[in-house]
């Protein structure tokens, strides 16, 4: 009976040991395994069994992209301006073994390497270039860090200069300069607006004068056209009357009477001298006779 109990206890202990040495590596992680103090293998995502009392999990490594925000570092530009710059480094671990055994305290190593690289780059630039060359500085730091950390199993994805803080007096001078620049631009915009306004007014006056001239020209053209049409209408009526007169074949007496009517209109008191054609003079007697006949007949009526 005692033997069965001992066997059961031993079996239970073995089961507990096996269960305790079953390890599950989660997604985007890796476990570095040492066997008897030396590197043995790197476990990827999945289920693994560790040899009891021989294997040991040396380091649990996250393979996800990581972000480290380093505190501001004092740097000096080429024109001897001291400023504070803090950086943000984005990196990921590509080789868990090198990350575990390549360097002691990898994050501290990256921070120190970033600070020294930043000082070297900023030391070759002046203040204005530093403030306007963020992208260039970011690329230079990333390239240098990526090359240096490759032996540590780390890949630097990008580096960003988070803040660039020049001394307070420099900031005041920059603010005054920016204010003066804004005022200058405002004056330029006002002058451009005034200039544009004057140009628009001049163009408006010019167009108005052109329109007035066009209107006068159009009026004169229409008046001339109307007069021409009136003259044509009169000439046409006169031609039609002559045509009708020719078609009617009037006698010489009718023509003489029409001539007398025309003579009467001519001699309306406005002319001082009248020239009578010989044909009309020959008809004067006829006209006098007609007048006497009408005068004689009138009392009887």
| Pair of tokens at residue 295 | 């005068």
Give yes or no: residues 147 and 70 share one domain.
yes
- Is residue 43 within 8 Å of 25, Cβ to Cβ? yes
pLDDT digits 0-9 by tens, 38-80: 999 999 999 999 888 899 999 999 999 999 999 888 888 888 8
Q: Report yes or no on 45 lying in a domain.
A: yes
Among positive and negative, which fits the CA dihedral 107, 108, 111, 116? negative
pLDDT digits 0-9 by tens, 230-241: 888 877 877 777
Among 44, 62, 80, identify where a domain stops: 62
Compute φ and ψ for 209, nearest 5 degrees. -60, -40
| Pair of tokens at residue 95 | 């080789």
Number of folded domains in the chain? Answer: 2
pLDDT digits 0-9 by tens, 72-120: 888 888 888 888 898 999 999 999 999 999 888 888 999 999 999 999 9
Q: Report yes or no on 121 lying in a domain.
A: yes
Other CB atoms within 10 Å distance of the CB of residue 118: 22
Distances (CA, A) of 219 to 205, 209, 211, 232, 235: 21, 15, 12, 20, 24
According to DSSP, the residues that pair with 246 across neighbouring strands are: none
Q: Report yes or no on 218 lying in a domain.
A: no
Q: Report yes or no on 227 lying in a domain.
A: no
Distances (CA, A) of 152 to 54, 90, 131, 143, 219: 27, 15, 32, 15, 94
Q: CA-CA-CA-CA torsion for 166, 167, 169, 174, nearest 10 degrees?
A: 0
Give yes or no: residues 70 and 57 share one domain.
no
Q: Residue 155 belongs to a domain with what CATH number?
A: 3.30.479.30
Binning pLDDT at 50, 70 and 90, where does residue 130 land? confident
Give yes or no: residues 97 and 16 share one domain.
no
Give yes or no: residues 57 and 79 share one domain.
no
Among 166, 186, 206, identify where a domain stops: 166
Rounded-to-integer distance, Cα 216 and Cα 186, Å:
45
Q: Taking the model in full, what pTM does it have?
A: 0.56
Q: What domain range is 128 assigned to?
A: 66-166
SS3 267: coil
- Please tell me the predicted confidence (pLDDT) of residue 262: 57
Q: Report yes or no on 9 lying in a domain.
A: yes
Q: Report yes or no on 183 lying in a domain.
A: no
Give yes or no: residues 70 and 50 share one domain.
no
* Residues in CB range of 277: below 8 A, 6 or more apart: 259
Give yes or no: residues 72 and 117 share one domain.
yes
- Is residue 116 within 8 Å of 132, Cβ to Cβ? no
Give yes or no: residues 49 and 74 share one domain.
no
Q: Is pLDDT above 60 for 278?
A: no
Q: Report yes or no on 175 lying in a domain.
A: no
- Name the DSSP letter for residue 123: T
- Please tell me the predicted confidence (pLDDT) of residue 29: 94
Give yes or no: residues 160 and 80 share one domain.
yes
- Please tell me the predicted confidence (pLDDT) of residue 298: 46
Among 42, 62, 82, identify where a domain stops: 62
Q: Report yes or no on 184 lying in a domain.
A: no
């Amino acid at each position: 009976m005692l033997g069965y109990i001992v066997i059961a206890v031993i079996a239970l202990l073995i089961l507990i040991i096996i269960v305790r040495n079953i390890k599950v590596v989660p997604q985007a992680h890796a476990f570095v395994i040492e066997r008897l103090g030396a590197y043995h293998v790197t476990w990827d995502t999945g289920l693994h069994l560790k040899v009891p009392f021989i294997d040991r999990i040396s380091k649990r490594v996250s393979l996800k992209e990581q972000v480290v925000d380093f505190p501001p570092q004092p740097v000096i530009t080429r024109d001897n301006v001291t400023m504070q710059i803090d950086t943000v480094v984005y990196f990921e671990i590509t080789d868990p073994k090198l990350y575990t055994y390549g360097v002691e305290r990898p994050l501290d190593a990256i921070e120190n390497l970033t600070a020294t690289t930043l000082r070297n780059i900023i030391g070759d630039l002046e203040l204005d270039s530093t403030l306007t060359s963020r992208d260039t500085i970011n690329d230079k730091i990333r390239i240098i860090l990526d090359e240096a950390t490759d032996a540590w199993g780390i890949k630097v994805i990008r580096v960003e200069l988070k803040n660039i803080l020049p001394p307070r007096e420099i900031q005041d001078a920059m603010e005054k300069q920016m204010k003066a620049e804004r005022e200058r631009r405002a004056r330029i915009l006002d002058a451009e607006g005034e200039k544009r306004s004057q140009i628009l007014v001049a163009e408006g006056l010019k167009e108005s004068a052109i329109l007035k001239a066009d209107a006068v020209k159009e009026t004169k053209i229409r008046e001339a056209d109307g007069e021409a049409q009136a003259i044509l209408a009169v000439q046409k009526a006169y031609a039609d009357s002559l045509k009708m007169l020719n078609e009617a074949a009037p006698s010489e007496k009718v023509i003489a009477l029409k001539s007398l009517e025309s003579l009467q209109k001519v001699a309306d008191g406005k002319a001082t001298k009248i020239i009578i054609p010989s044909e009309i003079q020959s008809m004067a007697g006829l006209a006098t006779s007609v007048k006497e006949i009408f005068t004689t007949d009138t009392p009887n009526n």
